[in-house]
Amino acid sequence: MKFIDEAEVHVRAGDGGRGCVSFLREKYKPHGGPNGGDGGDGGNVVFVVDPGLTTLLDFKFQPRVQAGRGEHGRGKEQYGKRGEDRLVRVPPGTLVTDVETGEQIADLRIPHERCIVAHGGRGGRGNAHFATPTNQAPRYAQPGTPGEDKRLRLELHLMADVGLVGYPNAGKSTLIAAVSAARPRIADYPFTTLVPHLGVVRFDEDSSFVLADIPGLIEGAHRGRGLGDRFLRHVSRTTLLIHLLDISGLSGRDPMADFDAINAELRAFDAALATKPQIVVANKLDLQEARERYPELRTRFAQRGIALWGISAATREGVAALMREAGRRWQALRKESAAGTAPPIADPASLSGEALREERE
């Protein structure tokens, strides 16, 4: 399935039915009076959040959505039937904006949440409503009003709890494949990952979180370099970021410089992204060069007050402990008090010998 995270759709609600001009004609009732019924209201266009959807692909094949119109009123005070609502399924995290006005109509996050994005027209009243003592035979009725007609822009912001960020080939796809059922494409060239991936990570017996892997960032991403800022919005809803660094030296870059460059890109795209709590992780410890560089890098990060975790996503060394820490941190952030004291990130050096043996096993 193609991953589509932006779409435009033309929605039109149903028109209201017109009222009826009619007079009662029955035997022995020569002056029966007006009995025209009202027209029915038009149907609404309603967006419904479907937790089973992860893309806006359907809108590429169905760019126009229309609800049913209301029936016209009839004689004998018969009211027209209301037009049918048009229910449209959208994935969680869909942001709906009016193209013409730029107004944000809805931010749909909760499963099965509903939002009317276009209201149907009102049905017109029949002539039975307009009879007065001085006008006992009105020969007019109201027309129905048209339904709302809008062009909407849909943007998908993935609903993930924890986001993976880092340079291309830092090992993000390998990590999410190691800890979840997600199966992204993995290869040793830049920009192997072309679309975001979501995986559910279970970090203890009864707790789990959703992890998002987005395509690698490079310097200048907020201006459109590489894959640009197209996917940065998918980590905007996350509570915690895991910042993955390639410390193998094979890229020829300095991991500290990579760390600063990615944070600068997050800040340039959205200042709120740069303030999100991060767990900084050195990857590829299965390589001898990386293992030799790790102590020195850990000292450099410690001088900034940052705990540097060391893992190998390929061999899964240290991965389980990292996921438990990410789960603990995520849970603590969700329950954070109004005072805003964020829970500290554990220093991997503080892990007991028993925990370390568990990781090696």
pLDDT averaged per 10 residues in sequence order, the chain, 361 residues: 75 93 81 87 93 82 90 89 92 89 88 92 90 86 92 83 83 82 51 62 78 68 50 76 86 84 83 84 88 90 90 88 88 66 58 45 45
The whole-number pLDDT of residue 162 equals 86
Burial class (CB in 10 A: 0-12, 13-18, 19+), 100: exposed
Q: Where are the domains of the chain?
A: 1-156, 162-360
The whole-number pLDDT of residue 347 equals 61
Count of CA atoms in the C-beta half-sphere (13 A) of 279: 29
Specify the pairing of strand 94-98 against strand 45-49. Answer: unpaired
The whole-number pLDDT of residue 344 equals 60
Specify the pairing of strand 45-49 against strand 86-90. Answer: parallel
162-360: CATH architecture: 3-Layer(aba) Sandwich (3.40)
The whole-number pLDDT of residue 187 equals 44
The whole-number pLDDT of residue 176 equals 83
Q: What fold is seen in the domain 1-156? A: Spo0b-associated Gtp-binding Protein; Chain: A, (2.70.210)
- DSSP string for 174-241: HHHHHHSS------SSTT---S-EEEEEEEETTEEEEEEE-PPP-TTGGGT-TTTTTTGGGGTT-SEE
Q: CA–CA separation, 329 vs 244, rounded Å?
A: 17
